[in-house]
Amino acid sequence: MTDLPFTTIETVDAVFLYIFGISGLLLLGITATMVVFVIRYHHRRHPQPQPSPSSKLWLELVWTLIPTLIVLSMFWYSWEGYLKLSDVPPDALKVQAEGRKWSWSFNYENGRSSDRLYVPVGRAVRVEITSKDVLHSLYIPAFRVKKDAVPGITTYVWFRAPEAGSFDLFCAEYCGVSHSSMITTVEVLPQEQFDAWLKQGKKAAPVEGPALLTRHGCSGCHSVDG
Ligand SMILES: [Cu+2]
């Protein structure tokens, strides 16, 4: 792992672990209390029902205030994470992503375009997302980002890939019969390799028949199997 200032992965994972940890503790506490009560108040020990105790204000305040504070702390922690995910570092590389039935295309500022999302390792990337037809959703689990692609408006996510490699990129919004095949990858390259890839420019990328169909969304209406 590269030594990085900050990534979206840490932000989301920290909030997830916080909420998951509290939920786990509550599950254990509630289950343990339930087991104790089942044993302690078993009908063999108490053949006759006992009268209900009168209300206790302090107890009611405690069991109202403590859960409220826990939920507010979850909200606060999540809100801070949300702001970090919204606040794109100013030096981020900009990439335009367009979703369509049923493929993605990624366009770079120098005119390079690709059906895979190529990014350099360690650098913040801002992906601006649009859709050509219906609702889609750009989802990269490895970097903990997901955002709807909405026709007519531009949304965005940003992330910083901590290491080189190939990572799944899905559509996470049901968008028609081939939604499940609307899959591609994020290719994270070392900076020099990424620069070389980007410099190849628009013309160097050979477009073959099937890729052309996918790029222009032809398969949304037409099939090639007769
Ligand atoms: Cu889709």
**More confident: 193 or 220:** 193
74-102 pLDDT tens trace: 999 999 999 999 999 999 999 999 999 99
pLDDT at 201 over 80: no
State the average pLDDT over residues 179-195: 95
When the pLDDT of each residue in the chain is averaged and rounded to a whole number, the result is: 89
50-77 pLDDT tens trace: 787 788 899 999 999 999 999 999 999 9
Query: Looking at the chain, which residues constitute the CATH 2.60.40.420 domain(s)?
Result: 93-219
CA 96 – ligand 1 centroid, Å: 16
Confidence of residue 5 (pLDDT cuts 50, 70, 90): low
CA 82 – ligand 1 centroid, Å: 24
pLDDT at 203 over 80: no
Give the per-residue SS3 of the chain: CCCCCCCHHHHHHHHHHHHHHHHHHHHHHHHHHHHHHHHHCCCCCCCCCCCCCCCCHHHHHHHHHHHHHHHHHHHHHHHHHHHHHHCCCCCCEEEEEEEECCEEEEEECCCCEECCEEEECCCEEEEEEEECCCCEEEEEHHHCEEEEECECCCEEEEEECCCCEEEEEEECCCCCCCHHHCEEEEEEECHHHHHHHHHCCCCCCCCCHHHHHHHCCHHHCCCCCC
- CATH code matching the domain that covers 93-219, chosen among 3.40.50.300, 3.30.70.100, 2.60.40.420, 3.30.750.24: 2.60.40.420
CA 201 – ligand 1 centroid, Å: 27
pLDDT at 129 over 60: yes
CA 132 – ligand 1 centroid, Å: 10
12-48 pLDDT tens trace: 999 999 999 999 999 999 999 999 999 998 888 888 8
CA 177 – ligand 1 centroid, Å: 10
Q: What is the ipTM of this complex?
A: 0.94
